[in-house]
Structure 1
Amino acid sequence: MNLIYTSDQKELIDAADGFFAGEHTVEYMRHLLESDSADTPPSLWDNFAELGLLGLLAPEEKNGLAQDFSVMAGIAEMAGNVALTEPLIEIAGISVPVLDEMGATVELNAVIAGDLKVLPVCGLSGMVSHADLADMFLIGEGGKARLIDKNDVTLTPLKSIDPLRKLYKISIPGDGLDTIDQRGTILNASFLCGLSKRMVALSVDYAKDREQFGKQIGSFQAIKHQLANVHTQIEFTRPIVQLAATQMGRCVHQAKVSSIDTAMLAAETAIQVHGGMGYTFEVSLHMFMKRVWALCGEWGDRSHHINILEAMILADDAELGPGTTFNY
């Protein structure tokens, strides 16, 4: 199976990456953290609509770009690289294709235009980040998707380790829907890969500037080897996530487990490279590290996905061996 993006797909991902890097900067996030409600910086939502990101997975006849889900996963990785604080990935990557499958044309058009926010609800936990921004919610019920107006739900604010990610418990009857939970898990894994890359980049920059014993600490083998190990782990994880985005199935759980392990290793290594400075508010690392800790438990934690993989592998009728395990 070819996991390499076409030139057009790569151009789309690079365009999103350039926009995120230029607009969603560390300074922008610090402004969000430090400002009061009257001084909050403007949302980037209208820009997402103008760039066509909200309609990335919608058909062309419905004003979309008709891209593969793997492209959305690539953009989710770029969003993770800047620790994006708006629910673009959840809405464009989960709600839009499900709305299209439901035939909810009016709502779909409004979402693509940037006039309506429909947030998917994780069937595993019933928790939604940025729920205060939503106009409607998308839940699974009886194996089908259902739309619920924001006025018909009860939202309970929850504490999150990441202050840039407002978290809520939503009180509505419903169950998990495979198409919602699988897409959410894959995009979550992609986002974690992006966060891992950014923490390595921050650590490399710090290691070039910080001096000890008259030398840059980045010149020490102990530092080089740690960062090289994380980089290698990231490059092993990314193809698993790309494969999951291409065909879903069992590899979705493998992607989430691998991305959690990679992100936690990246966070641990980054804090070791930064030393005591890594714990300070002045250094930007904490914004990315906290997002990792918050997202590792979203759309199923490590134990949840390990248990599913274990049940699949140990089942009496499990199809194992190179003909199935590596037949992609």
Structure 2
Amino acid sequence: MDFRLTEEQQDLRAGVRDLLAGRYGREALRASVDSGGALDRGLWRELGGAGFFALRLPQPDGGVGLGLPEAVLVFEEAGRALLPGPLVATHLAAGTVPGAAEGTAVVTALDLDGPLVAHLADADAVLGVPLLPSGEPVRSADPLTPLHRVAAPGSAVAAYRDEGALLTAALQAGSALRTVELAVRYAQEREQFGQPIGAFQAVKHLCAQMLVRAEVARTALYAAAVTADPAEVAGAKLLADEAAVRNARDCLQVHGGMGFTWEADVHLHLKRAWVRARQWRTAGEAEEALAAELLTAAR
């Protein structure tokens, strides 16, 4: 069986990367940070027009008609670009919440512990909740993910948990791969003792470990996208969360003191990874799901 990406899948990934590079480059990213994480409705509508949210809707219903593997590729690119907003919830709401597929509506979800809701102030609906709840603003680790604490019970919507976890894992994998690129580029440019710091063995090992971590997570992600098996989804989320957080930390180490400054973008990957690691399925929940699967298989 051939698990390589098809030409159409490669074109899809390249097209999304080009779209985000042109529409949400570094200047737009920094503008989002300066605005306090306010959602860009114009960008949201452009994503809807490009089929980002309607990617898996059947063509007769106005969608693109693709599957979960293609959605994972698209979300991986969104994670690489640090694209903000409740992307997963709005994608999952396409076809059920009016305007979600087209990007004219913003849909968030009760996908965090607390219960906390991301981007509630910008949302038109909450996935699986009939009425938009009110909430109390809560300081977020990520400046691009404003949070509110709400009185509504529960956390992630059970019917969407696996798909939400898988798509969030794709965002994490994209971020993990991007921090590898940032670390390698800086290691090639920054010089100490008359040579690039990438020539030193300790930095080489750090970057190599980052690459292995990211590629293992991506492999598990792609496999889970094909099988849609709950245990494999849990494993993919676990590996992607670890890769995103640890790679961001190692990228900061490669950058040294400069990486911790507000002007650098590296810390934004770490802060986003922390928040995503609490969305849809935490590490503890993923470990419990995998343990239950192993016990079932052993019997």
Whether 1:70 aligns to 2:69 is yes
Aligned match of 2:122 in 133, 155, 168?
133
Q: How does 1:189-228 map to 2 (within 5 A)?
A: 189-228=169-208
Whether 1:254 aligns to 2:235 is yes
Q: Secondary structure at the match of 1:112?
A: coil
Alignment coverage as a number of residue pairs: 298
Using the size of structure 1 for normalisation, the TM-score is: 0.83
Q: 1:123 to 1:213 in 2, by over 3 A?
A: closer
1:154 Cα shift?
2.1
Contact between 1:250 and 1:309, CA under 8 Å: does it hold in 2? yes
Q: Once superposed, what is the RMSD of the aligned Cα atoms?
A: 2.4
- Per the alignment, residue 233 of structure 1 pairs with 213
Decide which moves more: 24-33 or 5-14: 5-14
1:285 Cα shift?
0.9
- Per the alignment, residue 319 of structure 1 pairs with 297
1:174 and 1:264 map into 2 onto residues whose CA distance is: 26
1:304 and 1:126 map into 2 onto residues whose CA distance is: 16
1:291 Cα shift?
0.9
User: Unaligned stretches of 5+ in structure 1?
Assistant: 140-146, 322-328
Question: C-alpha offsets along residues 217-238 of structure 1, whole Å, 9 cap, x if unaligned?
Answer: 0111211121011101211111
1:115 Cα shift?
2.3
Contact between 2:36 and 2:144, CA under 8 Å: does it hold in 1? no
Using the size of structure 2 for normalisation, the TM-score is: 0.91
Whether 1:296 aligns to 2:277 is yes
Q: Give the number of the structure whose alpha-carbon radius of gyration is greater.
A: 1
Q: Secondary structure at the match of 2:53?
A: helix
1:293 and 1:18 map into 2 onto residues whose CA distance is: 27
Question: C-alpha offsets along residues 281-305 of structure 1, whole Å, 9 cap, x if unaligned?
Answer: 1222111121112211222321221
Decide which moves more: 112-121 or 282-291: 112-121
1:203 Cα shift?
1.1
Question: C-alpha offsets along residues 254-278 of structure 1, whole Å, 9 cap, x if unaligned?
Answer: 1111112212221221111111111
Q: Quick one: which amino acid aligns to residue 29 of structure 1?
A: L
Whether 1:113 aligns to 2:93 is no
Q: Secondary structure at the match of 1:128?
A: strand
Q: 1:35 to 1:237 in 2, by over 3 A?
A: closer
Q: How does 1:87-126 map to 2 (within 5 A)?
A: 87-92=86-91, 94-96=92-94, 100=95, 104=96, 107-108=97-98, 110-122=99-111, 126=115
User: Unaligned stretches of 5+ in structure 2?
Assistant: none
1:65 and 1:10 map into 2 onto residues whose CA distance is: 16
Q: Quick one: which amino acid aligns to residue 290 of structure 2?
A: L
Whether 1:7 aligns to 2:4 is no
- Per the alignment, residue 261 of structure 2 pairs with 280
- Per the alignment, residue 80 of structure 1 pairs with 79
- Per the alignment, residue 53 of structure 2 pairs with 54
Identity across matched positions, percent: 28
